[in-house]
Amino acid sequence: MTRRPNTKITSIAMALIATTLLAASCSPSATQEDAPESIVLLTHDSFALSDDVLETFTEQTGVKVVVTTAGDAGTMLNQAILTKDNPIADVIFGVDNSFISRAIDNELFTPHRATDIDAVDTAIRIEGDLATPITYGDVCINFAIDGVEASGVSVPTELSQFTDPAYEDLLVVEDPATSSPGLAFLLSTIATYPEGSSYDWKAYWTDLFANGVSVASDWSEAYYTQFSQAGGERPFVVSYASSPPAEVYFGDSPQAPTGSMTEGCFRQVEYAGVLAGTEYPTTAALLVDFLLSTTVQDDIPLTMFVFPTNRNAVLPEVFVTHTAFPDQPIIMDPKTIDESRERWIAEWTAIARS
């Protein structure tokens, strides 16, 4: 489904971009490199936009966007760090809040205050404008409606219920060492059952494993192999709050066959940034601005099935109708994640193997 951008907004944006590029090209220190023929966007394999959206940037600036994918978000970040002295791209998109501090500590970004940044929730913005929030998705436990009914249980209202014998062998999660939603769910349990409490996250996971939780290597295996909606045997799976509208959008029924819990949801935010060392910082900054513009933000829900961060973006009806929005999603300080992420994963792995 392709939507036309607001022509008035687009016209204003074109004028602003043209003015910026003209100012750069007329600067005494400017060179021909200030207006390159193309700009490279490094991203993960899940990146997707409608065919004509990136062409709009080219129409507005005369600069073509070359998209380079590099596996999942972790692999992409590793490649950017390894090549930071001779960057393979100008802009990076897809570093999420579980890894953003690592990117900042490695000095990957050039600060840039995006044009529409004031339309973004301050809770997910990065101090110093080193990176720009572009998308977010709430990682929640999803359930297959028919599968839950067949299992003779109700949909839990708290994470603790999955340690109850009634829910034995009903939940599949992803490995936090190899999966982004798996790590997000681990972080949600750490926030829910903090270290130092009488019943901490390690005790919770010990009970969860004792109750037969299954661990998949990634989201695809969990959702398309073990989840009962796809023919598996487990009616509960760690996925996204936006999975039910995706089921409707790609399915044959106007009613979602799945739903999502609203408790224990972790807000996963993806950022874009101008890579330090780019030869084209002016144009790279314009691309980050473009990613936060409503032209792109309106397109995100039905291409990447996550939410736009720009509050002026318009959500499609299928998202509004079939998404259960958590009242209090878990948002953890990226520095806290970065300081303990590897230790938490190692301790979780030890519990899983015991």
Give the CATH number, domain containing residue 237. Answer: 3.40.190.10
* Domains: count for the chain: 2
159 domain-assigned? yes
Confidence band for 34, pLDDT divided at 50, 70 and 90:
low
Residue 189 clears pLDDT 90, i.e. is over it: yes
> What number is the average pLDDT over the span 24-30?
37
91 domain-assigned? yes
131 domain-assigned? yes
If asked whether residues 203 and 340 sit together in one domain, one would say yes
If asked whether residues 122 and 198 sit together in one domain, one would say no
If asked whether residues 315 and 194 sit together in one domain, one would say no
If asked whether residues 124 and 99 sit together in one domain, one would say yes
If asked whether residues 190 and 333 sit together in one domain, one would say yes
Determine the Cα–Cα distance for residues 173 and 348; give it in Å rounded to an integer: 13
Per residue in 203-256, pLDDT (tens digit) is: 999 999 999 999 999 999 999 999 999 999 999 999 999 999 999 999 988 999
Determine the Cα–Cα distance for residues 162 and 165; give it in Å rounded to an integer: 8
If asked whether residues 97 and 163 sit together in one domain, one would say no
Contact 184, 266 (CB under 8 A): yes
348 domain-assigned? yes
If asked whether residues 106 and 55 sit together in one domain, one would say yes
Domain containing 203 equals: 138-266+326-353
If asked whether residues 124 and 214 sit together in one domain, one would say no
Percent residues over pLDDT 70 in the chain: 90
117-137 CB burial, b ≥16 within 10 A, e <16: bebbeeeebbeebbbbbbbbb
Question: Crossing angle of helices 180-192/201-210, nearest 10°?
Answer: 120
* This prediction's pTM: 0.83
Q: What are phi and psi of 255, to 5 degrees?
A: -110, 135
1 domain-assigned? no
Most confident region among 21-30, 165-174, 322-331 by mean pLDDT:
165-174
If asked whether residues 206 and 86 sit together in one domain, one would say no
Greater pLDDT, 180 or 283: 283
